Structure 1
Amino acid sequence: MLAVVAAVLFAFALLFELLGTSLERITSSVLVTAGLFCVALYFAGVGSRSVAYRRRARR
C-alpha cells in the first residue's frame, strides 16, 4: 500500500514540475520527499500484509 502511495506522490510531483505549478506549501520537492519517505517505510516492512504465524509440521 505504501508503494502505491509513493507512486501517486511521485506522479503528482512530476505533474507539478511539468506544469510549473505549486500550492502554497506543497511543491514538487515536498511531494518527492514524501514519496521517498513512503518508499523507505515500505522497504522497512511497515504496512506489510504478511501474516506472522507458524505452521506446525505433523510427523
Structure 2
Amino acid sequence: MLAILAAIVFGFALLLDLFDTRLGAPDLLNPTTLLMLGLLLLSLYLAGVGSGPRGGGGGRWYRGRRPGRG
C-alpha cells in the first residue's frame, strides 16, 4: 500500500514539475517536497512498515493437501 502511495506522489510531483505549477504555495507543495514524501513512503515500505500482520494466519500457509502426506 505504501509503495502505491509513493508511486502516486512521484507521479504528482512529476506532473507539477513538467507543467511548472506551484499550486499557490511554493514552499508547501513543490516537486522537491513531494519527492521527499515519496522517498519517505518508499523507504517505509521497504522497511516493512504497513505490510500487515505477520504470522497471524493460524499456521496454515499452504493450500490443498498437506505436504508429505502421500
TM-score (norm: length of structure 1) = 0.83
Q: Can you give the 5+ residue segments of structure 2 that lack an aligned partner in the other structure?
A: 61-70
Q: Are 1:35 and 2:43 matched, yes or no?
A: no
Aligned counterparts of 2:3 and 2:30: Cα–Cα separation in 1: 20
Residue 52 of structure 2 aligns with an amino acid whose one-letter code is R
| RMSD (Å), alpha carbons | 1.7
Task: Name the count of aligned residue pairs.
Answer: 56
- Paired position in structure 2 for 1:8: 8
The runs of at least 4 aligned residues of structure 1 exceeding 6 Å deviation read none
C-alpha deviation, 1:50, in angstroms: 4.6
- Paired position in structure 2 for 1:44: 47
Residue 6 of structure 1 aligns with an amino acid whose one-letter code is A
SS of residue paired to 1:21:
coil
Q: Quick check: which has more Rg, 1 or 2? A: 2
Aligned counterparts of 1:17 and 1:7: Cα–Cα separation in 2: 15
C-alpha deviation, 1:22, in angstroms: 1.5
Identical counterparts, % of pairs: 43
Q: Can you give the 5+ residue segments of structure 1 that lack an aligned partner in the other structure?
A: none
Aligned counterparts of 2:46 and 2:11: Cα–Cα separation in 1: 20
SS of residue paired to 1:26:
coil
